[in-house]
Amino acid sequence: MIDILDLEYDALESFVVGEMGIPRFRTAQIWQWLWQKGVDDFDLMTNLAKNLREELKSRAVIRHPQVDVVQTSRDGTVKLLLRLDDGALVETVLIPMDGYYTQCLSTQVGCAMGCTFCNTGLMGFERNMTMSEILGQVLAGRGYLLRNGFPPLKNLVFMGMGEPLLNLDNLIRSLKTLNNPDGLNFSRRRITVSSVGFLSQLEILGREDLTLPAISLHAPTQELRAKIMPKAAGTHIDDLLAAMDRYPLRPRERVTYEYLLLGGVNDSLEHAAQLVRLLGHRKCKVNLIAYNPGDRPLYDAPSEATVLAFEKYLWKKKVTATIRRSMGQDIKAACGQLKADQQKD
Ligand code: SF4
């Protein structure tokens, strides 16, 4: 059986025309049912004749993830624990912004990178997610918001479980499918791919011109990065920054560096000064995120005063910095916490 949500538009067309022998224009109709309307049953494709729907049912399946657990935070953040076809569990988070939602997506079941501040990293790597599974999260998230009368989904961030660039083929296929205006219709500027950074994959991503990645830097020196992100630091920080200096930007775009502030580890003004030395002359901005310990703390949270002082220092030195609000504090919104809890029970 073909997993029909795992076909890019061209592949769907080959399947429809080449294998099923039906007219080409049906491709667009099926595509719209799958991605715009998000149906999970061929029988709901009411503009297709019954025999065609039966034929589709005999050859293909529409696999939506099953929503296992929903947690809603007081601040409106919604976390969904999704069960994939083989029983694997992944998390996706819907984050309210001003009048719309941003969804945080996973790309792998587990993660091989072992960043020391991350619950997913502690679980280890299980497998890559397919395009169908990656985008299934969007269908589940969008559907949840719609059914519950929440504001619409506007932006996507690949910042959930897994390292997106280690699942590059499925990531690129997903980005292409997201871009399709007759489907989910998320343009490049509404999608952010967050990565610890791999040189050859960044080069490929730059050539594809589908997204501008945000780099998870989290430390101002190679030494400290190697301590808190031992595997990611296999790419030397200087090489990583040089690769991002070469990344093809559009007018007014800047590279984003994510910096997770860990209490007493990387949050002092000395660290801020080191960060300025690293980034001060680069076309970039810094997103500061205060570590959210949840109920499985791996580090201490930084104090609010420390976070503000860090930001102020960067601004004083003319490095653009924003503090990202830590959403969903009361529902384990930090990556991997909900799945870890579920597996413990
Ligand atoms: Fe993997 Fe990202 Fe967690 Fe690092 S922070 S272990 S890359 S999921």
Å from CA of 51 to ligand 1 middle: 47
Q: Which long-range contacts (CB under 8 A, 24 or more apart) does 239-243 make?
A: 239/199, 240/197, 240/199, 240/215, 241/278, 241/279, 241/282, 243/197, 243/199, 243/202, 243/203
In sequence order, the 6+-apart residues with CB closer than 8 A to the CB of 260 are 117, 216, 218, 266, 289, 291
Å from CA of 194 to ligand 1 middle: 10
Based on the fold, state whether residues 126 and 21 are members of the same structural domain. no
- Note the pTM of the prediction, 2 decimals: 0.94
- Whether residue 338 is predicted with pLDDT greater than 70 in this model: the reply is no
Based on the fold, state whether residues 114 and 242 are members of the same structural domain. yes
Å from CA of 115 to ligand 1 middle: 5
**Three-class DSSP category at 81:** strand
Residue 14, domain extent: 2-61
Q: Which of 335, 337, 338, 339 to mutate to test the pocket of ligand 1 (most atoms within 8 A of CB)?
A: 335
Helices (H), 186-336: 199-208, 222-228, 237-246, 269-279, 304-316
For the domain that residue 281 is a member of, what is the CATH number?
Answer: 3.20.20.70
Section 253-280 average pLDDT: 97
Higher pLDDT, 216 or 324: 216
% of the chain residues with pLDDT over 70? 94
Section 75-79 average pLDDT: 93
Based on the fold, state whether residues 118 and 7 are members of the same structural domain. no
Q: Which atom of ligand 1 is nearest to the CA of 117?
A: 5
173 is written with which tokens? 């296929």
- Residues framing ligand 1 (Cβ under 6 A): 111, 113-115, 118, 120-121, 161-163, 196, 335
For the domain that residue 18 is a member of, what is the CATH number?
Answer: 1.10.150.530
- Whether residue 344 is predicted with pLDDT greater than 80 in this model: the reply is no
Q: Give the per-residue pLDDT at 327.
A: 61
Burial degree of 98 (CB within 10 A; 0-12, 13-18, 19+)? exposed
* Residue whose pair of structure tokens reads 């190697």 in the numeric block: 226
Question: Pick from 24, 45, 61: which residue ends a domain?
Answer: 61
Higher pLDDT, 264 or 297: 264
Q: Which of 105, 166, 196, 217 to mutate to test the pocket of ligand 1 (most atoms within 8 A of CB)?
A: 196
Based on the fold, state whether residues 57 and 72 are members of the same structural domain. no
- Whether residue 222 is predicted with pLDDT greater than 60 in this model: the reply is yes
- Whether residue 71 is predicted with pLDDT greater than 90 in this model: the reply is yes
Section 105-131 average pLDDT: 94
- Whether residue 329 is predicted with pLDDT greater than 80 in this model: the reply is no
Å from CA of 121 to ligand 1 middle: 5
Nearest CA owner, ligand 1 atom 6: 121
Q: Give the per-residue pLDDT at 331.
A: 55
Residues acting as catalytic residues: 91, 335
Q: Which atom of ligand 1 is nearest to the CA of 163?
A: 7
Å from CA of 120 to ligand 1 middle: 6
Based on the fold, state whether residues 9 and 114 are members of the same structural domain. no
What are the backbone dihedrals phi and psi of residue 121, each rounded to the nearest 5 degrees, phi first?
-60, -35
Cα–Cα distance, 336 to 275 (Å, whole number): 28
Based on the fold, state whether residues 55 and 196 are members of the same structural domain. no
Question: Pick from 16, 42, 61: which residue ends a domain?
Answer: 61
Q: Which atom of ligand 1 is nearest to the CA of 160?
A: 8
Cα–Cα distance, 113 to 3 (Å, whole number): 29
Amino acid of residue 283:
K
Q: Give the per-residue pLDDT at 345.
A: 44
Query: Average per-residue pLDDT in the chain?
Result: 94
Nearest CA owner, ligand 1 atom 4: 115
Q: Which atom of ligand 1 is nearest to the CA of 195?
A: 7
Helix, strand, coil share (%) of the chain residues, nearest 5: 40, 20, 35
What are the backbone dihedrals phi and psi of residue 263, each rounded to the nearest 5 degrees, phi first?
-55, 120
- Whether residue 332 is predicted with pLDDT greater than 80 in this model: the reply is no
- Whether residue 132 is predicted with pLDDT greater than 60 in this model: the reply is yes
Amino acid of residue 134:
I
Q: Give the per-residue pLDDT at 88.
A: 97
Å from CA of 291 to ligand 1 middle: 14
Q: Which atom of ligand 1 is nearest to the CA of 159?
A: 2
Section 91-109 average pLDDT: 95
Higher pLDDT, 324 or 285: 285
Q: Report the alpha-carbon angle 210-252-275, nearest 5.
A: 95
318 is written with which tokens? 């003319």
- In DSSP terms, 260 is beta-bridged to 289
Based on the fold, state whether residues 106 and 210 are members of the same structural domain. yes
- Whether residue 341 is predicted with pLDDT greater than 70 in this model: the reply is no
pLDDT band for 339, please (50, 70, 90 cuts): low
**Count: domains in the chain:** 2
Based on the fold, state whether residues 140 and 163 are members of the same structural domain. yes
- Whether residue 55 is predicted with pLDDT greater than 90 in this model: the reply is yes
Based on the fold, state whether residues 146 and 292 are members of the same structural domain. yes
Question: Pick from 44, 61, 78: which residue ends a domain?
Answer: 61
Q: Give the per-residue pLDDT at 110.
A: 94
Q: Give the per-residue pLDDT at 10.
A: 97
Nearest to 320 by CA among 290, 289, 284: 284
Q: Give the per-residue pLDDT at 106.
A: 96
Work out the number of other CB atoms within 10 angstroms of the CB of residue 99.
8
- Whether residue 213 is predicted with pLDDT greater than 50 in this model: the reply is yes
- Whether residue 223 is predicted with pLDDT greater than 80 in this model: the reply is yes
Based on the fold, state whether residues 229 and 319 are members of the same structural domain. yes
pLDDT digits (tens, 9 = 90+) for 158-206: 999 999 999 999 999 999 999 999 999 999 999 999 999 999 999 999 9
Based on the fold, state whether residues 28 and 160 are members of the same structural domain. no
- Whether residue 328 is predicted with pLDDT greater than 80 in this model: the reply is no
Cα–Cα distance, 157 to 289 (Å, whole number): 15
Q: Give the per-residue pLDDT at 38.
A: 97
Based on the fold, state whether residues 226 and 283 are members of the same structural domain. yes
